[in-house]
Structure 1
Amino acid sequence: MKRRHLLVLAPATLAAVAADMSSAAPEPSPTIRRAIPRSGESLPVIGMGSWLTFDVGTDLAQQAQRRRVLQRFFAAGGGMIDSSPMYGRSQWLLGELLPSVPHEGKLVAATKVWTPFDRLGEGQLEQALALWHLARFDVLLVHNLLNWRGHLKLLRRWKEQGRVRYIGVSTSHGRRHDDVMQLIRSEPLDLIQITYNLADTSAEPVMNLAAERGLAVVINRPFDGGDLFQAVRGRPLPGWASEIACANWAQVFLKWVVSHPAVTCAIPATRQPGHMDENMGAGHGPLPDAALRQKMQSMLGRL
């Protein structure tokens, strides 16, 4: 569902916006950051995914659009960008665009190993470094637990060699939670990536265990693949949205996710610069408390 279908501005609203533009904009509130437990390093709570959205070839117009997405991301204080060899040309495009976008000291580069074969894992990571034009990664994950036994050995070796700072595993769509919990208990991980959103809260026991064991938690699919926008199509924002400085539904969905105490960072994906602005707005202002989080979840259940 396209977010542009969710809001139609009336002429009076447009006039008010134009009038407001004549006055100085208020100073933005500080970016909300969360610590990676293993190191204490903090991350902005809103990062960026690249599944589908950055799988772009040589079309110059599409490349320029993705460059604007990256520009808005870093200008708003973004940090973590996540990709994978599974994501088509996304790693290549990120490597092509990042040098032309100011981001000195901001990028937290995260990607994955994704192959059933031990012998291909290292070559895949070497290729990823070359595609991103990096000397090392910040985060490396075993994508969807594929051959995790073999690849975690590889990631540990790369960490010992200083070629990556944090290692872990990923899963999505509510899959294999029992396996992830077992790995949290048995393997020296720094981070997990997992699906969590207002329509799918099944990962909460995994997230809580990860927090107890000192792991960072990165959230994929915070919009449930866009289905959350379909659920609220045509509905105005609830009155309580202003209490947590939410100007649109994307910020409602993201603030609910990152207000969970176990969450370190959420990584929504978009191809639209305007949508990136909406996403990054969720990294500022107050977050819902436990009572409001429950109210927000109950609201969606009634839709």
Structure 2
Amino acid sequence: MTDISSTPSSSTAPGGSYPLAGVSVARVGYGAMQLDRHSARPEVAASLLRHALDLGVNHLDTADFYGASFVNDVIRRVVGDRSDVVVATKVGAETDPQGPLPLRSAQRPEQLRANVEDNLRTLGVDRLDLVYLRRMEAGPGLRPEGDQDVPLDDQLDVMLQLRDAGVIGAIGLSAIGIDSLRAALPAGIAAVQNAHSVVDRSFDDMMHLTAEHDIAWVPFFPLGSAFPGHAKVTDQPAVRAAAERLHATPSQVGLAWLLQHSPNTLIIPGTSDATHLDENVGAGELVLDSDTVAALDALEVVGAGEIQWVPSEE
């Protein structure tokens, strides 16, 4: 890792900057899951990732189970051992190509260790910057059942051992309930990921708790979801009106609202399209006036429901 003082300043980092895993990262990052859409053309995926880095993005979100290691392989080839880029990955799930869903739980301690080893191998590193324990307590997504319903303390013990051994740089939590987060705070949590957007504020209390403890809040589904019972940010009249007035896109308005909602928020919107990538990064420069913020704050909020695993989180 590199010293914070040697990384991009808030004046050049998209959306400003915030400390994550020992590095000052741009608050606009990149969720790499959708790189898998270019699995038949890996050179296109690599070009898109290079473009993100050229735009000042230095926080990437991935997992070995994204595209059955394809996404990690692209990151390995493009990022290499750059110390100014934080690559965050996840454990707690694994691919299940023959199953009813493309993912299955991998919550047991030995599975978490195996997940870490998989990420080390496919990213081509001997130390992972940041690893999220995907607890699967909170939706949307899979729920652990049977022997996959593992006590949090047992999982944290493994994560702490790996951090103490220098295999993990920092520990994050994903899809977790607020009581579990409170219980985990003494372990030193660097970041938390849960679903959060202008139309889904089910975890507002968790966002505030992370801010109190200087923990990065990294929302997935930042633009909502098209699944039944959920809403899409870009479909909201108030969002579309704000976009027209501000000469921005509805997506940029939704992302800018997240950035202004809490100073510890880091966004990781994902896309497989270079134009959309430019738009997402541009959201970091969009400033919403107080009237716009008030109109967005007044939107009817849809809570997170019990939906099945879906093919994109970012």
Tell me the TM-score normalized by structure 1: 0.74
Structure 1 residues 131-146: aligned runs within 5 Å:
131-145=122-136
Aligned-pair CA distance for 1:42: 2.0
- Which residue number corresponds to residue 17 of structure 1? none
Structure with max Cα Rg: 1
Specify the alignment match of 2:91 in structure 1: 113
- How many pairs were matched up? 260
Distance across 1 between alignment mates of 2:78 and 2:188: 36
**TM-superposition CA deviations, 1:183-202 (whole Å, max 9, x none):** 35554322211211011012
CA contact 2:197–2:221 (8 Å) conserved in 1: yes
Q: Quote the residue 2:282 is aligned against.
A: 281
**Alpha-carbon contact 2:120-2:127 (below 8 Å) kept:** yes
| Alpha-carbon distance in 1 for matches of 2:290, 2:65 | 36
Among all aligned residue pairs of Structure 1 and Structure 2, give the percentage whose two residues are the same amino acid: 20
What TM-score, normalized by structure 2, do the two folds share? 0.71
SS at the partner of 1:87? coil
Aligned with residue 59 of structure 1, among 40, 60, 74:
40
Post-superposition Cα deviations, 1:204-238, rounded to whole Å, max 9, x if no partner, equal: 111111111232211111011365265148x8543
- Where do residues 215-254 of structure 1 align in structure 2 (5 Å cutoff)? 215-225=215-225, 228=232, 231-232=235-236, 237-238=241-242, 241-242=245-246, 247-254=248-255
Query: What corresponds to 1:34 in structure 2?
Result: 17
Distance 1:209 1:291 in 2: 26
Deviation string, structure 1 residues 41-95 (Cα, Å, up to 9, x no partner): 42111111134x13358512xx233223212211111111112244342x43332
The root-mean-square deviation of aligned C-alpha atoms, in Å, is 3.1
* 99-108 or 248-257: bigger deviation: 99-108
Listed one character per residue, the Cα deviations across residues 4-52 of structure 1 (whole Å, up to 9, x for unaligned) are xxxxxxxxxxxxxxxxxxxxxxxx965333323885x42111111134x
Map 1:1-303; keep pairs closer than 5 Å: 31-36=14-19, 41-51=23-33, 53-56=34-37, 59-60=40-41, 63-89=42-68, 91-96=69-74, 98-100=76-78, 104-114=82-92, 115-145=106-136, 147=150, 148-171=152-175, 176-185=176-185, 187-225=187-225, 228=232, 231-232=235-236, 237-238=241-242, 241-242=245-246, 247-286=248-287, 288=288, 292-298=292-298
Instruction: Using CA pairs under 8 Å that are at least 6 residues apart, name the structure with larger relative contact order, 1 or 2.
Output: 1
> SS of the residue aligned with 1:252?
helix
Match of 1:19 in 2: none
Q: Tell me by how many angstroms 1:154 deviates.
A: 1.7
Aligned counterparts of 1:78 and 1:142: Cα–Cα separation in 2: 23
